[in-house]
A and B are shown apart, each in its own frame.
Chain A
Amino acid sequence: MSELAIRRGAAPALAVEGLSYAYPHAAARALEDVSLEVAPGEFVLLAGRSASGKSTLLKASCGLVPHFHGGEIEGEVRVADLDAVATGPGELAAAVGYLAQDPETQVVSTTVAAEIELPLEMRGDAPTDRARAVEEVALALAIPHLLDRATDTLSGGELQRVALAAALVTRPRLILLDEPTSQLDPVAGDELIWLLRRLNEEWGVAVLLAEHRLERCLAAADRVVAMEEGIVGFDGAPADFLLWSREKDPALTTPAARLFSLAGLMPLPVGVRDAKQTLRGTGIAHPPHQASRRVRDPRPQAPVLQAKGVWVELDQGEETKDVLRGIDLQLRPGDRVALMGRNGAGKSTFLRTAAGLHQPVAGKIAVDSIALLSQNPGDYLVRERVGDELPGEQGMAALRAVGLEHAIDADPRDLSGGERQRLALAIALAGRMEGKQLPGVVALDEPTRGMDRARKDDLVALIERLAASVDCLSHSETKATRGTAVVVATHDVEFASEFAERVVLLGDGVVIADGPMEEILSGGWYFATEVARVLDLPGVVTPEQGAAALRGEAG
């Protein structure tokens, strides 16, 4: 009998029975007759598209639903034998920890030590017990060096770890995480997932993790629960989930599983190690080396963005920091460029400098014209009617460019997340278009945060349309004079492999790599797609390319 099976015999960390829930004034229920159990020490991955009910299930499991959000609830939720429907989140805090997507609103103290200590203080623990618990959780999460820091000086990754420490310090039996890696770079995201796995194994804490980027965490999970429009669509082992998603919802499948499906290989791998083992077993662990495609469109046009030795210094309270250190970069019409790098590498600062929000202290940056969509599209929306945001012919032209002309009378709040993002882009474009001609550069800063695969595919299509010189304004086949250069700052390696033809990798304010997408995203470990990590072939980054390589070997 496996250890997990033995643990399953104990009282579950979470037991949900016949749970249905509707938010106040909502037309439809967010959850419909959901039943599931999480055993003590189990690591469960919660998969599903946007608005499928993942976040609501997590909030119901920690008492925020219905105690904080109101609404109508039916069914039973028990957390470590406490009735979560009858008991408030405060009482549940000792048994369950919760970590939401945005770490900024999850810290309430000025210093890290005070933040981690707060739940213990609220519980009335003795000072010596508090000191020891804070020290232990800080060591477990590798953040003892942060204890004396002010919380508002931390990076996103550090803040997420501090919030996790505050959720874990009471040693809860269950920890709930709602897309904790969505704002983290691949390095910090991988670190967080494996940290959770280690805590799960060493501390025995059960984990219920909602994520969109499944390739990042599937290998760490014991079980997968997939939500579909408020109901549980699948509940089983990760390998079985891949078979289910291939049939029922391919948008949920991982790149490695898609690679195997296309190549006709079985079983579908839950992670890189599984995939490599299967390939070794079939004798095709090392497909022949293929030279990377270095075919570059010569594009004789003049650059639309030219940065030469750009240094940018930012004031960070008590000190200033050189965030960009001598950046040289050129973009030409029609370029599709992914700007990648760790949190704090300077990606956003570069885009903001190009858009004129920062002035270089040295060097020059010349831009034809640029429309920048920042990380929070909601910040652009200040009126209650789309047509009021974008009046006149220039506004209508911008709406047509993003395919939103039908929504002119809608309230921006009634649009879907993807439509709101396109509306914000239209606001940035409005007036920067010369007739049907888009601006020289369209820049998007982390546009895929919290997006599911289907919405990412829509965004890829939009980027390709903007860059491909197709006349967006009339949706006709008429060609415009040139495409726009699209530059996207992103942590999402798989998304970059879908849209980009070139990747610029920044490290601590300098360009550390700049080349064709296939070359850059197959030449490392962290900034590499799952397929590239499985096959380790130069130039092979997407499931389609990988499958072609494998079929060539098999043939």
Chain B
Amino acid sequence: MRSPFAYVPRRRPLQLASPGASVAYLGAIVAVAFLYSNLLVLVAAGVAATLAGLLAGARSAVRAGLGLGLSLALLMVVVNALVTSRGETVLARLGDWPLLGRVDVTLEAIVAGLSYGLVAAASIVAFAVYSACVDPDRVLRALRPLAGRSALTATLVSRLVPVAAADAGRLRDAAALRGPGAAAVGKAPLARRLLAGSLDRAVDVAATLELRGYSLDAPRARNRRSRSRYDRRFYAVAAVVLATAIAGKLLGADDFQAYPSIQIGLGPATLAVAAVVTFSGLAPLKRPTRRPAHRLEVARV
């Protein structure tokens, strides 16, 4: 079974754009999430990443990213509520806990945890979209002239991950198919077997790379697909998002305070930043193909 985060080539703008443009675009959304604490802007960043993934056709990756991100966000809310007793609105007094001491659950701690959680969730969804939509070969190709050995290692690893995942699945199946009279397979022997198999696989993959001429010192050729017609769009959206986020930050759009009492700014600057960030999620939208006008004229004739 394929990982939902595995790259799937599609004829969509985000996949067709050069890795630099895609990374700049998704990186801008992540940058907003790290720059801001305001819940509205953070939700906007999450929505933008989700929209981008859906418009790029990476539904599975978005679903898995949201699942992972929201679970982590929930965990952060719970942990923050338990370890932070600051805030004026006490919702529950849970008494003295071992290690934690006196635990008072406050609304402010929950909201502060939500802010941290939304940063994580938006970032995870954006990384999920990156993983499913940006061709790792093209990223590695871009890296190769800069750091050949690192690119080789990354190539080996990126190939070995799905191979090792498939091997692990097969080993699990074989363990399930063992007769009840055979020795039970513990995790340690299984892990040892997987590791030994992975080393063999690594040797095979390395041999293939060798046969493809990876070790040659030949001059590296220029990348044929270094630019695409969508690059300008993604670079422009990334620039607008970043410029708006920085300007908004300077103008006080990140108006958020959790302690001692909650204060969430919803002023024009905040709304403007949230709107720009949300709409940036539409960047991967593919325009419907227009029928050329001359065909209609021919039809009329």
Could you list which residues of chain A lie within 8 angstroms of chain B, going by C-beta atoms? 62, 64, 67-68, 88-91, 93-94, 97-98, 100, 102, 104-111, 114, 118-128, 130-131, 148-150, 152-153, 166-167, 315-318, 352, 355-357, 371-374, 376, 379-383, 388-392, 394-395, 397-398, 427-433
Check B177–A126 contact: CB distance below 8 A: no
B54 to chain A, nearest CB (A): 13
Q: Which residues of chain B from 103 to 141 have any CB-CB distance to chain A below 8 Å in the complex?
A: 135-138, 141
Check B1–A316 contact: CB distance below 8 A: yes
Q: Known contacts A118-B212, A124-B219: does B179 contact A430 (CB below 8 Å)?
A: yes
Contacts of A429 in B (CB 8 A): 179
- Nearest neighbor of A148 in chain B, beta-carbon distance: B9
Q: Known contacts A315-B1, A357-B177: does B212 contact A108 (CB below 8 Å)?
A: yes
Contact among B136, B203, B210 for A89, CB-based, below 8 A: B210
Contacts of A106 in B (CB 8 A): 204, 208
10 tightest Cβ-Cβ pairs between the two chains A and B: A431-B181, A394-B181, A430-B181, A431-B180, A127-B224, A317-B2, A379-B174, A105-B204, A122-B213, A430-B179
- Nearest neighbor of A369 in chain B, beta-carbon distance: B179
Contact among B166, B203, B208, B218 for A122, CB-based, below 8 A: B218
Check B135–A111 contact: CB distance below 8 A: yes
B17 to chain A, nearest CB (A): 15
Q: Known contacts A111-B135, A379-B174, A432-B180: does B214 contact A317 (CB below 8 Å)?
A: no
B11 within 8 A of A: yes
Q: Which residues of chain B from 190 to 238 have any CB-CB distance to chain A below 8 Å in the complex?
A: 190, 192-193, 201, 203-216, 218-224
Check B159–A432 contact: CB distance below 8 A: no
B266 within 8 A of A: no
Contact among A114, A120, A427 for B178, CB-based, below 8 A: A427
Contacts of B74 in A (CB 8 A): none
Check B137–A382 contact: CB distance below 8 A: no
Contact among A64, A118, A357, A389 for B207, CB-based, below 8 A: A64
Contacts of A380 in B (CB 8 A): 174, 177-178
Give the distance in Å from the alpha carbon of A120 to the alpha carbon of B2 in the complex. Answer: 29
A134 to chain B, nearest CB (A): 10
Check B178–A428 contact: CB distance below 8 A: yes
Give the distance in Å from the alpha carbon of A102 to the alpha carbon of B200 in the complex. Answer: 13
Contacts of B8 in A (CB 8 A): 150, 153, 317-318
Q: Known contacts A148-B11, A395-B182, A428-B179: does B135 contact A93 (CB below 8 Å)?
A: no
Contacts of B220 in A (CB 8 A): 121, 124
B176 within 8 A of A: yes
Check A317–B204 contact: CB distance below 8 A: no
A168 to chain B, nearest CB (A): 12
Q: Known contacts A90-B216, A149-B9, A372-B177: does B204 contact A102 (CB below 8 Å)?
A: yes
Check A357–B2 contact: CB distance below 8 A: no
Can you report 6 residue pairs joining A to B where beta carbons are below 8 Å apart?
A88-B210, A108-B155, A121-B141, A357-B176, A388-B183, A394-B179
Contact among A90, A94, A125, A430 for B221, CB-based, below 8 A: A125
Contacts of B214 in A (CB 8 A): 90, 122
Give the distance in Å from the alpha carbon of A69 to the alpha carbon of B86 in the complex. Answer: 64
Give the distance in Å from the alpha carbon of A93 to the alpha carbon of B214 in the complex. Answer: 10
Give the distance in Å from the alpha carbon of A355 to the alpha carbon of B86 in the complex. Answer: 57
Check B137–A124 contact: CB distance below 8 A: no
Contacts of B201 in A (CB 8 A): 105
Check A93–B211 contact: CB distance below 8 A: yes
B292 within 8 A of A: no
Check A392–B219 contact: CB distance below 8 A: no
Q: Known contacts A114-B135, A152-B6, A379-B170: does B181 contact A432 (CB below 8 Å)?
A: yes
Contacts of B159 in A (CB 8 A): 107-109
Check A90–B210 contact: CB distance below 8 A: yes
> Given A104-B166, A372-B177, A380-B177, list of 7 further CB < 8 A pairs?
A64-B210, A88-B215, A89-B207, A357-B177, A379-B174, A395-B182, A398-B179
B208 to chain A, nearest CB (A): 5
Check B174–A374 contact: CB distance below 8 A: yes
Give the distance in Å from the alpha carbon of A111 to the alpha carbon of B1 in the complex. Answer: 17
Check B213–A150 contact: CB distance below 8 A: no
Contacts of B96 in A (CB 8 A): none
Contact among A109, A120, A317 for B137, CB-based, below 8 A: A109
Task: Give the bracket for the number of chain B residues in contact with chain A.
Answer: 35 or more
- Nearest neighbor of B213 in chain A, beta-carbon distance: A122
Give the distance in Å from the alpha carbon of A102 to the alpha carbon of B219 in the complex. Answer: 31
Q: Known contacts A110-B135, A153-B2, A318-B8: does B183 contact A105 (CB below 8 Å)?
A: no
Contact among B4, B174, B183, B208 for A390, CB-based, below 8 A: B183
Check B207–A68 contact: CB distance below 8 A: yes
Check B205–A105 contact: CB distance below 8 A: yes
Contacts of B179 in A (CB 8 A): 371, 394, 398, 427-432
B158 within 8 A of A: yes
Contacts of A430 in B (CB 8 A): 178-182
B89 within 8 A of A: no
B25 within 8 A of A: no
Contacts of B212 in A (CB 8 A): 93, 108, 118-119, 122, 166
Q: Known contacts A122-B213, A122-B214, A318-B60: does B222 contact A127 (CB below 8 Å)?
A: yes
Give the distance in Å from the alpha carbon of A107 to the alpha carbon of B185 in the complex. Answer: 31
B260 within 8 A of A: no
Contacts of B155 in A (CB 8 A): 108
Check A64–B211 contact: CB distance below 8 A: yes
B36 within 8 A of A: no
B151 to chain A, nearest CB (A): 12
B171 within 8 A of A: yes
Give the distance in Å from the alpha carbon of A382 to the alpha carbon of B158 in the complex. Answer: 26
Give the distance in Å from the alpha carbon of A432 to the alpha carbon of B178 in the complex. Answer: 10
Check A94–B204 contact: CB distance below 8 A: no
Contacts of B9 in A (CB 8 A): 110-111, 148-150
Check A108–B174 contact: CB distance below 8 A: no
Give the distance in Å from the alpha carbon of A109 to the alpha carbon of B216 in the complex. Answer: 18
Q: Known contacts A111-B9, A391-B183, A431-B179: does B204 contact A90 (CB below 8 Å)?
A: no
Give the distance in Å from the alpha carbon of A444 to the alpha carbon of B272 in the complex. Answer: 65
A390 to chain B, nearest CB (A): 6
Contacts of A130 in B (CB 8 A): 221, 224
Contacts of A432 in B (CB 8 A): 179-181
Contacts of B213 in A (CB 8 A): 90, 93-94, 119, 122-123
Give the distance in Å from the alpha carbon of A408 to the alpha carbon of B177 in the complex. Answer: 21
Check A152–B211 contact: CB distance below 8 A: no
Q: Which of A122, A315, A398 has the most CB of B within 10 A?
A: A122
B297 within 8 A of A: no
Check B190–A382 contact: CB distance below 8 A: yes
Check B2–A121 contact: CB distance below 8 A: no
Check B60–A317 contact: CB distance below 8 A: yes
Give the distance in Å from the alpha carbon of A467 to the alpha carbon of B158 in the complex. Answer: 45
Q: Which residues of chain B from 140 to 198 have any CB-CB distance to chain A below 8 Å in the complex?
A: 141, 155, 158-159, 162-163, 166, 170-171, 173-174, 176-183, 185, 189-190, 192-193
B102 within 8 A of A: no
A368 to chain B, nearest CB (A): 14
B43 to chain A, nearest CB (A): 27
Give the distance in Å from the alpha carbon of A94 to the alpha carbon of B218 in the complex. Answer: 12
Q: Known contacts A105-B208, A127-B221, A131-B224: does B178 contact A110 (CB below 8 Å)?
A: no
Contacts of A427 in B (CB 8 A): 178-179, 182
Give the distance in Å from the alpha carbon of A105 to the alpha carbon of B207 in the complex. Answer: 9
A351 to chain B, nearest CB (A): 10
Give the distance in Å from the alpha carbon of A219 to the alpha carbon of B214 in the complex. Answer: 36
Check B173–A357 contact: CB distance below 8 A: yes
Contacts of A111 in B (CB 8 A): 9, 135, 137
